[in-house]
Amino acid sequence: MRLFIVLIALVLAAPGAEANAWLREHRGGFLSTGGAMRWTGSGAVAMESTIYAEYGLRPELTLGLDLSLKDDGTGAAAIFARVAAFDQGNVTAAFDAGLGARQDPGGPVPFVSGGLSVGTDWRTARGPGWAVARVSARYSPEEPARFKLDATIGQTVRPRMKLLFGVELAQSGGRSAAVVPGIAYALRDGRSIYAGLEARRAPGITSYGLRAGLWHQF
């Protein structure tokens, strides 16, 4: 079970991913640094850097930090807490709640958020697989509420290699959608690397990108 939780954390800490129904092991930590590069149809290039961290403060409580910064000076910072909601057989669910702020050209915009994640796992001859989905809402007094669905399915294909496929759907003054296939490869000493592709469509914008990340389990 500990190995499975590590695999889930490595996959879900990839840039932009948010769904996670599993708690961090007590006093266990996880740190991810990563980024994304996106191209639009007009030829513009956008860069985004991310830092994501989790810590098991108690067996039933995981705390986290999520930071992002884009090359245009905008970004976001949030802290969150996750608690178990259901755990029976191979089905697990968790609630999370957080608060933070987005940095816009006009200044910081505070927000609060909450979500419910549900996950399941299985084992094949090649290794473990999993699926997890999260529905969430984010509210700010200065902008429309955002509702989002994140879902990821993954499968181990070699002892150190996992293939993933993610979907992101969001509604906030307009609908957006993204698909994110990727691959994760385990190194040594609790470290792994991730690389993925991204295709995203939002009102008036279609973009394609690359994602990459480095994670450390401790």
- Strand (E) or helix (H) holding 11: helix 2-12
One-character DSSP codes across 67-134: EEEETTS-EEEEEEEEEEEEEETTEEEEEEEEEEEEEETTEEEEEEEEEEEEEEEEEETTEEEEEEEE
**204 three-class SS:** coil
**10 three-class SS:** helix
C-alpha distances in Å from residue 40, one per residue of 36, 43, 78? 13, 5, 27
Q: Read off the tokens for 188.
A: 């040594």
Predicted TM-score (pTM) of this structure: 0.85
Domains of the chain (ranges; CATH) run 2-217 (2.40.160.40)
Match 């389990």 to its residue by tokens.
217
Query: Could you list the pLDDT tens digit for every one of the 218 residues in the chain?
Result: 444 444 444 444 444 345 688 899 999 999 999 999 999 877 788 999 999 999 999 999 999 999 999 988 899 999 999 999 999 999 999 999 999 999 988 889 999 999 999 999 999 999 999 999 999 999 998 888 999 999 999 999 998 999 999 999 999 878 999 999 999 999 988 899 999 999 999 988 899 999 999 988 88
